[in-house]
Amino acid sequence: LSSNSRIWDLTAPLLTSTYCVVALDMRGHGLSDVPEDGYGFPDVTADVIAFMDLLGLDSVAIAGHSWGASVALTLAVEQPHRVSGIALVDGGFIEISRYSDWETAEAQMTPPDIPGVAVETFLGFARQWPNIRDIWTDEIGEMVLSNFEIKNGKVYRRLDIHRHMKIARAIYDARPSEMLPQASCPALVIVATTPPANEAEQRWQTYRNEGMDMVREAMSGATVLIMENSIHDLPVQRPAELASALVSFARELA
């Protein structure tokens, strides 16, 4: 959510020697159009199917990160003949409505506005993000900036808060507890865990733990892989480990 296909820049090259790998910018993200509406799961999953049709891809294994994992799960349920397997990367298994009413969740999920911060100032803050500062490179800086619109040396949100929150509401309304049992294809669920540093992190770790239990109960054949001491953005922090897990999963599908 509010990211783009470049979050896979470090992971995808580790897959392409063996597999055909395609990443797309979802509507409102990256270089794709930013329409006013259509940010619920029916529209964004239809976008993916249209994208597959354009490329002549009949059936694919789909790896989705965070919100993208929820998209992958939805596709597996609604278009089972087009999906050979799903890899849910730290997403798709947390049912936020179990823990919070919408008003509370809305406040927690609303991102900060970025009304024209100078690029160097913005990068100065980004370099100090917890868990990112230790792995920061110029390439990661480029990946971060690609999520935003740059005008006259200043950074602005590409996906405005109004549209962002339409996706947030769709995530809140999603019911993984109902969808996970309906996904008939093989599944790999990758979960990032790290020692919580505050109450908010502890809360989300509890959600993850309960989500993993839900996966194990609903999908007896699913593989749950826990990556310890890892942040949510696994494709950035753990590209080699993530790629290795995806390759192993794809081999099992083959």
Give the pLDDT confidence score for residue 170 in this predicted structure: 98
Q: Which residues are within 8 A (CB) of 32 and not within 5 positions of it... i.e. 6 or more apart?
A: 24, 25, 26
222 DSSP 8-state letter: -
Counting every residue written for the chain, the total comes to 254
Can you say whether the dihedral through the CA atoms of 37, 42, 45, 51 is positive or negative?
Answer: negative
Residue 141 has phi, psi (to 5 degrees) of -60, -40
Region of 77 (left: φ > 0; alpha: ψ -120 to 50; beta: rest) is alpha
Q: Which residues are within 8 A (CB) of 243 and not within 5 positions of it... i.e. 6 or more apart?
A: 11, 14, 15
User: Does an H or E element contain 61, and which?
Assistant: strand 60-65
CB neighbour class for 104 (10 Å; exposed up to 12, middle 13-18, buried from 19): exposed
d(CA 54, CA 15): 22
Give the pLDDT confidence score for residue 130 in this predicted structure: 78
Q: pLDDT tens, position by position, for the chain (254 residues)? A: 999 999 999 999 999 999 999 999 999 999 999 999 999 999 999 999 999 999 999 999 999 999 999 999 999 999 999 999 999 999 999 999 999 999 999 999 999 999 899 999 999 999 998 778 889 999 999 999 999 999 999 999 999 999 999 999 999 999 999 999 999 999 999 999 999 989 988 998 999 999 999 999 999 889 999 999 999 999 999 999 999 999 999 999 97
Give the pLDDT confidence score for residue 238 in this predicted structure: 96
Q: Which two tokens stand for residue 59?
A: 């059936």
